[in-house]
Structure 1
């Protein structure tokens, strides 16, 4: 999972980094750190979870948090006081949880783990579970009804991104960038080829949960039509 921390404070950076190390998350999740909100949507391609420090009251950060590019991202907000929460909600910012800056030492790790469990369904075994489908992030395995499904690494990475961002639409370019990186020159249609192969390996109803969004890209939606 790709986590983005936005803060200009070195002490907060150290605390968040320390949580990922102490909780043995560093090998499972990638933490990126920015002092200011990114300027373009390509800068957050593949980001699954956002931690933002709003204690300074940065208007640019507030605009970023309520923008369409981050509206569906799970967010943990670091605040100075409870009034900040009301201000965020009144400005249309969706947040999943918040933590007071003064309580970071004792509460930060708990808040992050709760979001991983509640919003990403990452359990103690580090798996994403949808019904009888289990994506084991430690073993790089997909199990459906207890049966192992053989995937290539690219197929696994595609499925992982979509499962970590349920009901979020990714363009082919975003998926290409996240899985193949920017230096790949094979063209975005390679995403279509891998998605077809991935669907063919998965059983119903899970293969139908991989939805094609016409002229845009793909998403994983557990709600079948």
Structure 2
């Protein structure tokens, strides 16, 4: 299980190596984009939980990327920390006004950066730092690896647990098979996309025992979503 997915947008290899090492050691899943165009493509393919964004980038600047993220409904609230060698107060103001949530000047302390990342994630995605997760009738104890529906324990395999966790962290959002493969199995593992269907069926069977309503919605030609209504009952 990871603490969250972080996209590093940085063209200096030494900085990428430093960031990647420290983030992965702390339990984060890390992806890297080396220029602005690649960053925009990667966010479109799989939105990260947080972006570390260099100011000076080839093709599209960090400031412009930040502005584009804030104009899109899907990424409007995605946490962004801007990393830059520009330390003047006017630069800090410009970076924050472009939509960055925080701003750090190179060289920076990895420990301080991790503290700021965790602080932003606690505000934006509490489920990534809390040990319990709730969505409608479902409760998940992340520390004990247990799942409950209305207080009744549901037995799940490791893959179904990871799959349900990802859906519970994003209730109502539709994920394609490819997005679920990346999030649950990892981008470096080759798995047939139909494998997702198999595990969704197993998850449904476990969750929907005793004639309970189905909380997983299939969207034809799009993917799957975890659905709850305002009362926390399957839609």
TM (norm. structure 2) is: 0.65
Which segment is superposed worse, 66-75 or 109-118? 66-75
Hey, what's the Cα distance between the residues in 2 that align with 1:185 and 1:223?
Answer: 29
Tell me the alpha carbon deviations over residues 170-200 of structure 1, each in whole angstroms, 9 at most, x when there is no partner.
1234324544553326466435524532541
Deviations 1:56-99 (A, max 9, x none): 155165458538696267322215512122234xxxxxx6x223
Q: 2:180 aligns with which of 175, 191, 212?
A: 175
2:7 aligned residue: 4
Q: Residue 29 of structure 2 aligns with which residue?
A: 30
- What are the ranges of 5 or more consecutive residues in structure 1 without an aligned counterpart? 89-94
* Counterpart among 188, 201, 214 of residue 193 in structure 1: 201
List runs of 5+ in structure 2 lacking aligned partners. Answer: 87-91
What secondary structure is seen at the aligned counterpart in 1 of 2:153?
strand
Q: Equivalences for 1:74-223 in 2 at 5 Å?
A: 74-79=78-83, 80=86, 81-88=92-99, 97-101=101-105, 104-105=108-109, 107-122=112-127, 126-130=131-135, 133-179=138-184, 181-184=189-192, 186=194, 189-190=197-198, 192-201=200-209, 208=215, 210-221=216-227, 223=229
Give the corresponding residue for 1:92: none
- Displacement, 1:223? 4.7
**In 2, distance between residues paired with 1:125 and 1:75?**
18
Q: Report which of the two structures shows the higher radius of gyration computed on alpha carbons.
A: 2
* Structure 1 residue 101 displacement after superposition: 2.2
TM-score (norm 1): 0.67
- Structure 2 residue matching 1:128: 3-state secondary structure: strand
Q: CA RMSD in A?
A: 4.0
Aligned residue pairs total 210
Q: Is residue 2:107 matched to residue 1:71? A: no
In the TM superposition, residue 53 of structure 1 has moved relative to its aligned partner by 1.9
